[in-house]
């Protein structure tokens, strides 16, 4: 990949949404465009930029035309301390709603910036439906960036359109997702509450999903070999123009010397403790347990997970995100951590794990995931089968894709789509169910062997698709070429006026 010298290169502005699951794949997509000769500007706030600026600076120093344009987060106006600008910092519902308010206040300054920057195109996160009008005002294409699967996007669309969950006798009665090529059953409890019944959040989410059809097209962080039937469904039945360009993070990082947040070596030059621990384990013997960047679990659920993992008898690395813990929670987890250290069966990572390095380590043999799309792609890239434990948003759809369609996942048995900040004190999944799922995935049974084989095949396909000539590679080139021709036609039209 070479940087392209041109007097008037295509200028694309990216507008990421501040949560890791949205931001990471968009920044990587921006980097890929820059590496293919596009002039890229990323609009973000200071604290968010600090998580990826080094990578952008390093791309820039290699000759790629990529930069970050900073805007001020209205911390004082919404009553937040400096630096709290990302949904992952929302440790309480109150903080979360302040962060969301701050994000919505950025609309005006961003619109002004779009006018100043005069890009040829904006690639914006799905969470900013207002950018449909902003792009129309500037007469430039708006590209919708969808940070999950085609499968989930189609599920949202057809459930919103046909409402198959209305008029069922209970919230636990099953319905089938309409228009799908596979028979996929769900219960109303597994879809987000704003879709189950209209509530104040419906007015927030509906425009987000509707904005896709009002856009020039959509970039999907997915790949043809993974969900071609749903890619087709999206393009034909829904009339969406889309480009599957994933897995973008594996692609962007392919050329980097080290992956992700470089967890191997600590600042004092020592090998990280988690790595020493993993190095001491047999190949494919460790289960990585993570619920992504936003999920927080109740104390009751943490206790069930701890016992479920311990009772399974398998090795595990578990990422535990700190709530505003009370004393009993603290002492339970500390005792558990101590016991695991002694038995060498388990290792706890507090708050944030170097996920990519752990997944790629030969000792890792599977993952418990909340079915966040990035975690799914990252596990697939490492060829790992999964235990699917969806929590909220589109994660229950992704669970169906993993378990019922791709057959590379074991269902833990989550029943209700519920965000952590809705009031909930009980454990949703019991220790017996957790231990059972772990035994199926990590045990030596036929089911596990077959899932592992299928996951490895998909992992190989995910590597091939981003190589020159692969589907995702070609799609990215086509996407850039199409934007270039649009720019050209617009310039010709302007000069004819
Ligand atoms: N992540 C990480 N360390 C953690 C938790 C998350 O590096 O301890 C990264 C993970 O690799 C993924 C992203 O954060 O790239 C989470 O995105 P995902 O779509 O899986 O879930 P979300 O956080 O959006 O629910």
CA-closest residue to ligand 1 atom 16: 21
pTM: 0.95
Ligand 1 atom with minimal separation from the 355 CA: 7
Contact 422, 200 (CB under 8 A): no
φ, ψ of residue 144 in degrees (nearest 5): -80, 130
Ligand 1 atom with minimal separation from the 321 CA: 8
Q: pLDDT at position 325, please?
A: 62
Q: What whole-number distance in Å separates Cα of residue 144 and Cα of residue 211?
A: 8
* Count of alpha carbons within 13 angstroms of residue 258, beta-carbon side: 8
Nearest to 324 by CA among 77, 95, 78: 95
Residues in the chain: 497
Q: pLDDT at position 357, please?
A: 94
Which string of b and e fits 318-350 if b means at least 16 CB within 10 Å?
A: bbbbeeeeeeebeeebeebbeebeeeebbbbbe
Q: What whole-number distance in Å separates Cα of residue 155 and Cα of residue 209?
A: 11
Contact 395, 315 (CB under 8 A): no
Q: What whole-number distance in Å separates Cα of residue 260 and Cα of residue 52?
A: 10
Contact 95, 107 (CB under 8 A): no
Strands annotated E in 97-184: 121-125, 142-146, 175-176
Ligand 1 atom with minimal separation from the 293 CA: 23
Q: pLDDT at position 323, please?
A: 67
The yes/no answer on whether domain 9-254+466-496 falls in CATH 3.40.50.2000 is yes
Domains 9-254+466-496 and 264-462 share a fold: yes
Nearest to 375 by CA among 356, 399, 397: 356
Ligand 1 atom with minimal separation from the 375 CA: 20
Q: pLDDT at position 490, please?
A: 87
What residues line ligand 1, using a CB cutoff of 6 Å?
19-21, 24, 290, 292-294, 319, 352-353, 355, 372-375, 378
CA-closest residue to ligand 1 atom 21: 372
- 402 sits in which H/E element: none
Q: pLDDT at position 165, please?
A: 97
Per-residue pLDDT of the chain (497 residues; tens, 9 = 90+): 444 445 789 999 999 999 999 999 999 999 999 999 999 999 999 999 999 999 999 999 999 999 999 999 999 999 999 999 999 999 888 999 999 999 999 999 999 999 999 999 999 999 999 999 999 999 999 999 999 999 999 999 999 999 999 999 999 999 999 999 999 999 999 999 999 999 999 999 999 999 999 999 999 999 999 999 999 999 999 889 999 999 999 999 886 754 444 445 555 667 899 999 999 999 999 999 999 999 989 889 999 999 999 999 999 999 998 765 666 667 899 999 999 999 999 999 999 999 999 999 999 999 999 999 999 999 999 999 999 999 999 999 999 999 999 999 999 999 999 877 765 666 689 999 999 999 999 999 999 999 999 999 999 999 999 999 999 999 999 999 999 999 999 888 877 76
Ligand 1 atom with minimal separation from the 148 CA: 19
Residue 58 CA: distances (Å) to CA of 34, 257, 401: 12, 11, 37
Distance (Å) from CA 21 to ligand 1 centroid: 6
Q: What whole-number distance in Å separates Cα of residue 46 and Cα of residue 53?
A: 10
Q: What whole-number distance in Å separates Cα of residue 173 and Cα of residue 403?
A: 20
Q: What is the 3-state secondary structure (H, E, C) of 54-82?
A: HHHHHHHHCCCCEEEEEECCCHHHHCCCC
> 10 Å Cβ neighbour count for 453?
13
Mutating to test ligand 1, I would choose from 23, 292, 357 the residue with most ligand atoms within 8 A of its C-beta, which is 292
Distance (Å) from CA 483 to ligand 1 centroid: 30
ipTM for this model: 1.00
Distance (Å) from CA 241 to ligand 1 centroid: 27
Distance (Å) from CA 356 to ligand 1 centroid: 10
The yes/no answer on whether domain 264-462 falls in CATH 3.40.50.2000 is yes
Ligand 1 atom with minimal separation from the 369 CA: 20
CA-closest residue to ligand 1 atom 11: 355
Contact 229, 149 (CB under 8 A): no
Mutating to test ligand 1, I would choose from 26, 375, 417 the residue with most ligand atoms within 8 A of its C-beta, which is 375
Helices (H), 118-149: 131-138
Distance (Å) from CA 378 to ligand 1 centroid: 9
> 10 Å Cβ neighbour count for 363?
19
Q: pLDDT at position 169, please?
A: 95
- Tokens encoding 88: 């992952």
- Domain extent listing, the chain: 9-254+466-496, 264-462
CA-closest residue to ligand 1 atom 15: 374
Distance (Å) from CA 117 to ligand 1 centroid: 31
Q: pLDDT at position 271, please?
A: 80
Q: What whole-number distance in Å separates Cα of residue 349 and Cα of residue 290?
A: 10
Contact 217, 143 (CB under 8 A): yes
Q: pLDDT at position 267, please?
A: 55
Distance (Å) from CA 371 to ligand 1 centroid: 10
Q: Which residues are catalytic?
A: 22, 125
Mutating to test ligand 1, I would choose from 372, 381, 382 the residue with most ligand atoms within 8 A of its C-beta, which is 372
Hey, is 394 helix, strand or coil? coil
- Tokens encoding 383: 């060829």
CA-closest residue to ligand 1 atom 2: 355
Q: pLDDT at position 418, please?
A: 87
CA-closest residue to ligand 1 atom 10: 375
Contact 16, 125 (CB under 8 A): yes
Q: Angle, to 10 degrees, between the axis of helix 446-464 and the axis of helix 431-442?
A: 70
Q: pLDDT at position 370, please?
A: 97
CA-closest residue to ligand 1 atom 24: 21
Mutating to test ligand 1, I would choose from 374, 386, 393 the residue with most ligand atoms within 8 A of its C-beta, which is 374
Q: What whole-number distance in Å separates Cα of residue 59 and Cα of residue 170?
A: 54
- Tokens encoding 122: 């904006």
Q: Which residue has the tokens 């973000």?
A: 44
Distance (Å) from CA 123 to ligand 1 centroid: 21
Distance (Å) from CA 353 to ligand 1 centroid: 9
φ, ψ of residue 358 in degrees (nearest 5): -65, -45
């Amino acid at each position: 990949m070479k940087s392209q010298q041109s007097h008037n290169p295509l200028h694309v502005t990216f507008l990421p949404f501040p949560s890791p699951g949205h931001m990471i794949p968009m920044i990587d997509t921006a980097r890929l465009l820059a590496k293919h000769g596009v002039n890229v500007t990323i609009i973000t706030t200071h604290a968010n930029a600090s998580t990826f600026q080094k990578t952008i600076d390093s791309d820039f120093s290699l000759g790629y035309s990529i930069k970050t344009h900073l805007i001020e987060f209205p911390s004082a106006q919404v009553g937040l301390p400096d630096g709290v600008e990302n949904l992952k910092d929302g440790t309480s519902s109150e903080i979360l709603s302040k962060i969301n308010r701050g994000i919505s206040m950025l609309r005006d300054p961003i619109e002004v910036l779009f006018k100043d920057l005069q890009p040829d195109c904006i690639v914006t996160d799905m969470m900013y439906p207002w950018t449909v009008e902003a792009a129309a005002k500037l007469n430039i294409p708006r590209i919708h960036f969808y940070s999950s699967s085609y499968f989930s996007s189609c599920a949202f669309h057809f459930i919103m359109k046909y409402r198959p969950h209305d008029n069922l006798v209970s919230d636990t009665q099953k319905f089938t997702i309409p228009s799908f090529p596979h028979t996929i059953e769900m219960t109303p409890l597994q879809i987000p509450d704003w879709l189950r019944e209209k509530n104040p959040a419906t007015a927030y989410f509906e425009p987000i999903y509707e904005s896709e059809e009002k856009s020039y097209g959509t970039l999907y962080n997915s790949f043809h070999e993974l969900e071609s039937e749903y890619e087709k469904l999206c393009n034909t039945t829904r009339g969406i123009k889309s480009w599957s360009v994933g897995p973008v993070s594996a692609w962007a990082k392919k050329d980097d010397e080290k992956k992700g947040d470089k967890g191997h070596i600590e600042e004092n030059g020592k090998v990280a403790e988690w790595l020493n621990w993993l190095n001491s384990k047999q190949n494919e013997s460790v289960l990585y347990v993570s619920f992504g960047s936003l999920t927080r679990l109740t104390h009751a659920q943490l206790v069930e997970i701890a016992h479920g993992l311990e009772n399974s008898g398998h090795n595990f690395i578990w990422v535990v995100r700190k709530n505003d813990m009370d004393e009993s929670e603290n002492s339970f987890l500390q005792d558990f951590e101590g016991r695991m250290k002694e038995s060498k069966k388990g290792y706890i990572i507090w708050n944030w794990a170097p996920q990519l390095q752990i997944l790629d380590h030969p000792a890792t043999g599977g993952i418990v995931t909340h079915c966040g799309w990035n975690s799914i792609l990252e596990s697939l890239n490492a060829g790992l089968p999964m235990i699917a434990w969806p929590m909220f948003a589109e994660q229950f759809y992704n669970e169906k894709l993993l378990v019922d369609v791709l057959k590379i996942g074991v269902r833990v048995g989550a029943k209700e789509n519920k965000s952590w900040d809705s009031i909930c004190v009980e454990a949703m999944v019991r220790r017996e169910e957790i231990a059972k799922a772990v035994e199926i995935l990590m045990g030596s049974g036929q089911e596990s062997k077959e899932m592992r084989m299928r996951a490895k095949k998909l992992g190989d396909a995910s590597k091939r698709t981003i190589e020159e000539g692969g589907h995702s590679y070609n799609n990215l080139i086509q996407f850039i070429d199409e934007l270039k021709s649009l720019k050209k036609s617009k310039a010709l039209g302007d000069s004819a006026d």
